[in-house]
Amino acid sequence: MPQLDLSRHTPAASKAIADDLVDVYSEVYDAEPYRGDPFFSTNTYADRIHAAFDMPGFEVVTAHLADTGQLVGYVHGVTLAADKPWWVSLGDQRPGEAQAAAEAEQVFWLRELMVLPAFGNRGIGRSLHDAMVAGRSEPWTTLTCITDNEPARSAYPRWGYQVTGQIKHAPESPLYDAMILPPGL
C-alpha cells in the first residue's frame, strides 16, 4: 500500500473541499453500470453530498498520497437518524440492539467510501474505513452497498459486516444490501 496521509474533516472543512470530493466521485462512477444512469450523475451526487454536510454527525476522512498530495479516496457519513426510510424499511431484519442504538443516536451511517480506480485493491479503502469507524463515538456502524458492486460487496463481510436485508434508496436506485457492523468488530 502507498504511504497515505489520512485527514478528518468537519462539515465546514468538507464544504471547502467539496469540488475535490465530487471530482473523485465523478471518476469512480464513470464506469459501467453507473455511467449514464441519472441516479449516479455527478450533479445528483453533488446535491446529495451538499445536503449531507448539514446532517448531524457529518464527517469526511480523506486519503492523500504522502509523496504527491494527490487525493486518492475518501469516506463520509453521518449519525443515522432512526427514522431514515431505508433503515425503517428493514423492520425486524435489524438486530434489536441496533434498533435501540439508532434510537439513542449510537449508529454511524457510512454513506460513501470510494477510491480512485487506479489505486484500487491496495488497502486504501480499508484504511479509510478503519480510520473513520475508529474515530466515531457511535459503537455501531451501518452502510448500504449495491448488490453487484464488487469488490466492495465482498469486502464488507470480511471486515465484520452482516447483511440485514435489501433496500432501495429511491424508486430509480439499484438494489442495495443493508449491512451492520456490531460494536467491537
Instruction: Count H helices and E strands in the chain, helices first.
Output: 7, 7
Give the type of residue at 92.
D
User: What letters, b where the CB count within 10 A reaches 16 and e where it falls short, cover 19-39?
Assistant: eebbebbeebbeeeeeeeeee
User: What pLDDT is recorded for position 157?
Assistant: 96
Element (H, E) at 19: helix 18-28
CA 128 to CA 115: how far, in whole Å? 9
Helix axes of 18-28 and 42-52: crossing angle, nearest 10 degrees? 140
User: What pLDDT is recorded for position 150?
Assistant: 85
Of 58, 67, 75, nearest in space to 5 by CA: 67
This prediction's pTM: 0.95
User: What pLDDT is recorded for position 120?
Assistant: 92
Residue entry with cell 449510537: 106
Cα four-point dihedral sign 102, 105, 110, 111: positive
CA 91 to CA 85: how far, in whole Å? 10
List Cα–Cα distances, 142 to 114, 133, 182, in angstroms: 16, 10, 9
- The stretches in the chain having pLDDT less than 50 are none
* String of DSSP letters for 98-163: HHHHHHTT-EEEEEEEEE-GGGTTSSHHHHHHHHHHHT-S-SEEEEEEETT-TTHHHHHHHTT-EE
CA 118 to CA 108: how far, in whole Å? 28
Q: Are 97 and 44 in contact (CB under 8 A)?
A: no
